Amino acid sequence: MAFSERVTRLKSSLIREILAAAQRPQVMSFAGGLPSEAMLPVLEWEDLPVAFGQYGMSEGEPALREALAAEARALGIDCQASQVLVVSGSQQTLDLAAKLHIDTGTEILLEGPTYLAALQIFQLFGADCLTIPQEHDGPDLLQLRARLEKHKPAFIYLIPTFQNPSAVCYSETKRAAIAALLDEFGVTLIEDEPYRELSYDGVNAIPIAGRLQRASWIYTGTVSKTLAPGLRVGYLIASPDLFPHLLKLKQSADLHTNRIGQWQALQWIGTEKYRQHLVQLRDFYRVRRDAFQQALERHFGELADWQVPQGGLFFWLTLKQPLDTRTLLAEALNRDVAFMPGEPFFAEPERNPGNLRLNFSHIAPERLDEGLKRLAAVIRHAQAAQAA
Amino acid sequence: MAFSERVTRLKSSLIREILAAAQRPQVMSFAGGLPSEAMLPVLEWEDLPVAFGQYGMSEGEPALREALAAEARALGIDCQASQVLVVSGSQQTLDLAAKLHIDTGTEILLEGPTYLAALQIFQLFGADCLTIPQEHDGPDLLQLRARLEKHKPAFIYLIPTFQNPSAVCYSETKRAAIAALLDEFGVTLIEDEPYRELSYDGVNAIPIAGRLQRASWIYTGTVSKTLAPGLRVGYLIASPDLFPHLLKLKQSADLHTNRIGQWQALQWIGTEKYRQHLVQLRDFYRVRRDAFQQALERHFGELADWQVPQGGLFFWLTLKQPLDTRTLLAEALNRDVAFMPGEPFFAEPERNPGNLRLNFSHIAPERLDEGLKRLAAVIRHAQAAQAA
C-alpha cells in the first residue's frame, strides 16, 4: 500500500470511540459537545429558490457574506464582505489554515489545553506544536513572549472566548497584550470563536483580531452552536493578504459550501428572529449550567477544582489528586457514563494528567445527578486503587 | 509571511477567471460545466425532521449509505454500506485521496487530458503526475503497461465514463484490460464517475472498480449532475483497506457532510421519481447535444475534429491546425464568447496545444449558433495571423 507519510500521524480518534460508545441509549454522556435537540429551531424552507440548487461561488453567497461582515464589524473587527469566506463548518477553516501554513516540522503556537480536533489536524499536516499554558484568564503572557522571542511560529491558534475545553474567557488585559505581542513579532493569528454567542453572564469582549494593527489574521465562527450544526455552515474572515490563498484552497477542497444551508443561515443572521432565538438559547443553557454546577458541588467538591464557565458548553475539572483520566474511561462506560479525558487536549498528553471535560448542554436534566455521582465514584475508586 | 511550501504550487485558477468573465449576462458561455437551471428539480422540504439539524455521523446518514451501496451493486461493484462515505461533493474525494496518498514527489498516473481540478489538487499536494494518453476508447494500454513496469505510482486516477474533458467512454475491452493491469501491478484505482447517469445513447458499462480482483480502489460519484450541485452531496465507496483512513480524513476535514442535503438526496436515490427524472434529464440533454453537434458541423467542420459525446456535458475539439488555445481567450471574451482552453487539462500544457472543451448543457439554444460562429471566427482569425 502506498500511503502518504502524513497518514502515519492519523491517530485513531478517541473522541470517535467515546462518542460511539455513548450512543447506547442508557449511557449518561458528558462526552460530546452537542447542542440540545430541544433548542434546534424549526427551519422553514418554503421560500428556498430553485436556483439555489445550482453551483455557487466558492466565496459563498454574497448576501450572507455581507451579513457576516456586518456582524463581525459590530463585534469590533474592521472588515468587508470581500474578506468573508463561507466554509463547510468552522472545522474546515482549520483544514484550510493547515494547508496554507503547515509543512512537516512547521512550528505553531497553541494554548494548552486546546481544541482536540485542531490539534489533530495541525499534527496531521506535520506541525511542531508549541504550547502556551492556559491560566484562568487566558494564556500565560510571559511564556507567550518567551516563545515568540525564541521561535518564529507560522501562526498562533487561540480560542479566546469560552474555550473548548477549558471554558476560559480571556480578560480584556490579556486580549490587548496578546494583540500587541502578535503585532510586535509579526505572527499570524487564527482566532476560533464557535461559542461567542453562548454567553451566560453578559461577557462580550472584542475579538483579538479586532485589536491587531499589523499582524495577519483569520477569524472563524459558525452557526453550529446557535442554529443547527447539521447545516455545516461556518465562515472565516481573513486579512486581505491571506484571503486569496484561502479562497483557492477552499475551491480545491470542495468547490463551495452547500447553498441550502447558506440560504437558511441567511434567513437568521442579523434578524430580530435570530436575536430572540439567541436570548432563549442563553436562558436555556444558563439553567443547565447552573444545575450542573450544583450537582458538581454535591459530587466533586472534594475531588476537583473548576471555574464556573461564563459561556460555552463545558466544565473543565482539575482533579486535586491527579491521575491519567484516560484510564477511567472503560470503567465509566461500564457504569454507563461517558466523559472526555483531558489529556488528549494537550500536545503532550503524558505531561498533563488529571483533567476532565464535561459537557453540560446535552444530558437530560433528570439524569445529570446520577451521572455525576457515578463518575465521581469511578474516580474515587481509581484513586483509592492508586493509593493502595 | 510564513506559508507552506505547497502554497507555491497553488495556481491562479484559469477556470475561476474564465467563469468570472462568463458571468456577464451578454456572454455566450461554453466554459463551465453547469447543469441547466431548467432541469433543476423542485425540492420538497416539508418532511425534513428537525433532528437533522443536529450533528451527524462522519460516515454519512445510514439510510443514504445503504441506498448508495445498493445503486453501486446494481452497477456491478461488490460493496456494502459500510464502505460508503458521504462527502461534500465528489471534489472532496480528491482532497481526501490526495491526503491519503500524496507526499511531495509521489508519482501518480492520470489520463491526458484529465479533470482540471483533480490535476490541480494532486499537484498542490506535490504529486509527480505521469500521463497516459487518451485514445478514442480509453487510455493507451501499451503506454499504461510501460508506465506500470517502470514506476510504482501511489494510484491511477481515471474517469472512464464520459470523461471531463474528452467525453471519452472506455470500451469494454479497455475496462477489462485496465482492471487486469491494476491487479497485476497492485496499483490503487481512483475511479471518478460524475457523468455516469448522463448517458444519451444507452451506454452502461460496468465500472472498473467492479472488475478488480485484488487492487485497492476508491469509486466516487455525486448527485451534482443529476439532482442539484448546490446540495454539495457526493460519495465515495472504497475497498475496506482504505476506508478507515478516508473516514478519519473526512472527519478532520469538515466533521461530516451537511445533513439537509443528505436527507434530500435520500428522497430521490433509488426511487421511481428519481428514475423518471433521469429519463427526462437524458432526453433534455440529448436534444441539446444533437443541436450542438449540428451547429458544430456548420461552423467547425473545417477547423476541428471531434467525437460526438455519448454522455456527459462536453464536446472536446481538436484543431486541425493546432495553436495554444489559451491565446484565443481574450479575443473570444471581447466578442462575448467564453470557452475552456484544452491545455490546462494536461499535466504538461505546453506539449498539448490545440484542444477546446465546449459545454453544451448550459447555453441557451437560441444563442448557440451565434456563439459557435463567433468562436470559429476567433480561431480562423488567430490561425490566419499565425500563418502570416
Mean pLDDT of A15-41: 84
Query: If pLDDT is split at 50, 70 and 90, which confidence band does B204 have?
Result: confident
- In a mutational test of the B interface, the residue from A222, A223, A254 whose CB has the highest number of chain B CBs within 10 Å is A254
Beta strands in chain B (DSSP E): 28-29, 84-87, 107-112, 128-135, 138-139, 155-158, 188-192, 217-222, 234-238, 304-305, 314-319, 337-338, 340-341, 355-359
Q: Provide the pLDDT for residue A13.
A: 66
The amino acid that residue A114 corresponds to is T
Question: Chain B: residue nearest A234 by CA?
Answer: B254
Of A40, A229, A254, the CB nearest to B88: A254
Mean pLDDT of B210-232: 97
Mean pLDDT of chain B: 95
> Do B236 and B198 touch, CB atoms closer than 8 A?
no
- Cβ contact (<8 Å) for B254 and A103? no
Number of helices and strands in chain B (H, E): 11, 14
Which three three-digit cell numbers place residue B28?
A: 455566450
Contacts A–B by Cβ distance under 8 A = 226
Question: Is the pLDDT higher at B12 or at A193?
Answer: A193
Helices (H), chain A: 14-22, 62-75, 91-101, 116-124, 141-150, 172-185, 243-254, 259-266, 272-300, 329-334, 365-387
Number of helices and strands in chain A (H, E): 11, 14
Within a 10 A sphere around the Cβ of B177, how many other Cβ atoms? Answer: 19
Q: Provide the pLDDT for residue B88.
A: 98
Q: Provide the pLDDT for residue B108.
A: 98
> Do A69 and A79 touch, CB atoms closer than 8 A?
yes
Report pLDDT digits (tens) over B267-305. Answer: 999 999 999 999 999 999 999 999 999 999 999 999 999
In the stretch 10-69 of chain A, residues with CB closer than 8 A to chain B read 10-13, 16, 32, 34-35, 37, 40-43, 45-46, 48, 50-56, 58
β-strand pairing of A337-338 with A340-341:
unpaired
Mean pLDDT of A138-166: 98
Of B10, B35, B259, the CB nearest to A249: B10
Residues of B in contact with A48 (CB under 8 A): 43, 45
Of A3, A58, A259, the CB nearest to B230: A259
Residues of A in contact with B249 (CB under 8 A): 10
Within a 10 A sphere around the Cβ of A44, how many other Cβ atoms? Answer: 11
| pLDDT(B261) > 60 | yes
- Cβ contact (<8 Å) for B55 and A224? yes
Closest CA–CA distance from residue A303 to any residue of chain B (Å): 32
For CA atoms B302, B307, B310, B316, give the dihedral sign: negative
User: Phi/psi of residue A270, each to 5°?
Assistant: 80, 0
Mean pLDDT of A238-259: 96
Mean pLDDT of B249-257: 96
Question: Is the pLDDT higher at A352 or at B2?
Answer: A352
* Residue B325: strand, helix, or coil: helix
Q: Which of B121, B356, B3, B250 is nearest to A242 (CA)?
A: B3
Of B4, B55, B224, the CB nearest to A103: B4
Q: Provide the pLDDT for residue A353.
A: 97
- Domains of chain B are 5-40+274-387 (3.90.1150.10), 56-271 (3.40.640.10)
Report pLDDT digits (tens) over A162-206. Answer: 999 999 999 999 999 999 999 999 999 999 999 999 999 998 899
* A42 DSSP 8-state letter: P
| pLDDT(B103) > 60 | yes
Residue with cell 472504497: B238
Mean pLDDT of A357-367: 93
Query: If pLDDT is split at 50, 70 and 90, which confidence band does A387 have?
Result: confident
Q: What is the percent of chain A where pLDDT is above 70?
A: 99
Q: Which of B197, B132, B138, B140 is nearest to B163 (CA)?
A: B138
Q: Is B248 touching A (CB cutoff 8 A)? A: yes
* Residue B261: strand, helix, or coil: helix
Of A34, A37, A260, the CB nearest to B231: A260
Which three three-digit cell numbers place residue A21?
A: 460508545
Q: Provide the pLDDT for residue B11.
A: 76
* Residue environment code for A251-274, b if the CB has 16+ CB neighbours within 10 A, otherwise e: bbbbbbbbbbbbbbbbebbeeeeb
Query: If pLDDT is split at 50, 70 and 90, which confidence band does A388 have?
Result: confident
Q: What is the DSSP string of B221-233?
A: EESTTTT-GGG--
Residues of A in contact with B251 (CB under 8 A): 13, 16, 117
Q: Is B227 touching A (CB cutoff 8 A)? A: yes
Question: Chain A: residue nearest B3 by CA?
Answer: A101
Which three three-digit cell numbers place residue A300?
A: 466533586
Whole-number Cα distances in Å, B272 to B268, B269, B284: 8, 9, 18
Q: Provide the pLDDT for residue A222.
A: 97
Nearest-angstrom CA–CA distance, B6 and B131: 21
Counting beta carbons within 10 angstroms of the beta carbon of residue B272, is it exposed (0 to 12), middle (13 to 18) or buried (19 or more)?
Answer: exposed
Nearest-angstrom CA–CA distance, B194 and B198: 9
Q: Which of A277-286, A340-349, B16-25, B45-54 has the lowest mean pLDDT?
A: B16-25
In the stretch 262-321 of chain B, residues with CB closer than 8 A to chain A read 264
Q: Provide the pLDDT for residue A20.
A: 75
Nearest-angstrom CA–CA distance, B127 and B55: 34
Helix B243-254 vs helix B90-101: angle between axes, to the nearest 10 degrees? 110
Nearest-angstrom CA–CA distance, A92 and A70: 22
Question: Chain B: residue nearest A99 by CA?
Answer: B4
Mean pLDDT of B132-140: 97
Q: Provide the pLDDT for residue A12.
A: 65
Q: Which H helix or E strand runs over B70? A: helix B62-75
Q: Provide the pLDDT for residue A372.
A: 98
Q: Provide the pLDDT for residue A152.
A: 96
Question: Chain B: residue nearest A87 by CA?
Answer: B254
Q: Provide the pLDDT for residue B64.
A: 98
Query: If pLDDT is split at 50, 70 and 90, which confidence band does B1 have?
Result: low
Q: Which of A226-230, A364-368, B17-21, B41-45 has the lowest mean pLDDT?
A: B17-21
Of B92, B124, B245, the CB nearest to A10: B245
Of A43, A228, A255, the CB nearest to B91: A255
- In a mutational test of the A interface, the residue from B17, B96, B107, B260 whose CB has the highest number of chain A CBs within 10 Å is B260
Q: Is A214 touching B (CB cutoff 8 A)? A: no
> Do A207 and A170 touch, CB atoms closer than 8 A?
no
Q: Provide the pLDDT for residue B386.
A: 85
Q: Is B149 touching A (CB cutoff 8 A)? A: no
For CA atoms A294, A296, A302, A307, give the dihedral sign: negative
Question: Chain A: residue nearest B33 by CA?
Answer: A55
Nearest-angstrom CA–CA distance, B268 and B277: 9
In the stretch 92-131 of chain B, residues with CB closer than 8 A to chain A read 92, 95, 99-103, 106, 117, 120-121, 124-125
Closest CA–CA distance from residue A90 to any residue of chain B (Å): 8
Sheet arrangement for strand B155-158: B84-87, B234-238, B217-222, B188-192, B155-158, B107-112, B128-135, B138-139
| pLDDT(A14) > 80 | no
Of B1, B4, B43, the CB nearest to A53: B43
Nearest-angstrom CA–CA distance, A133 and B53: 35
| pLDDT(A1) > 80 | no
In the stretch 151-170 of chain B, residues with CB closer than 8 A to chain A read 152-155
Nearest-angstrom CA–CA distance, A55 and B35: 8
- Cβ contact (<8 Å) for A43 and B41? no
Nearest-angstrom CA–CA distance, B110 and B362: 28
Report pLDDT digits (tens) over A32-41. Answer: 888 888 999 9
Of A45, A154, A258, the CB nearest to B45: A45
Q: Provide the pLDDT for residue A10.
A: 86
Closest CA–CA distance from residue B232 to any residue of chain A (Å): 5
- Cβ contact (<8 Å) for A254 and B95? yes
Residues of A in contact with B52 (CB under 8 A): 230
Report pLDDT digits (tens) over B180-200. Answer: 999 999 999 999 999 999 999
Report pLDDT digits (tens) over A282-296. Answer: 999 999 999 999 999
Q: Is A245 touching B (CB cutoff 8 A)? A: yes
Of A1, A231, A261, the CB nearest to B216: A1
Residues of A in contact with B53 (CB under 8 A): 40-41, 43, 227-231
β-strand pairing of A128-135 with A138-139:
antiparallel
Nearest-angstrom CA–CA distance, A132 and A146: 10
| pLDDT(B210) > 90 | yes
β-strand pairing of A188-192 with A217-222:
parallel
Closest CA–CA distance from residue A298 to any residue of chain B (Å): 31
User: Phi/psi of residue B238, each to 5°?
Assistant: -130, 155
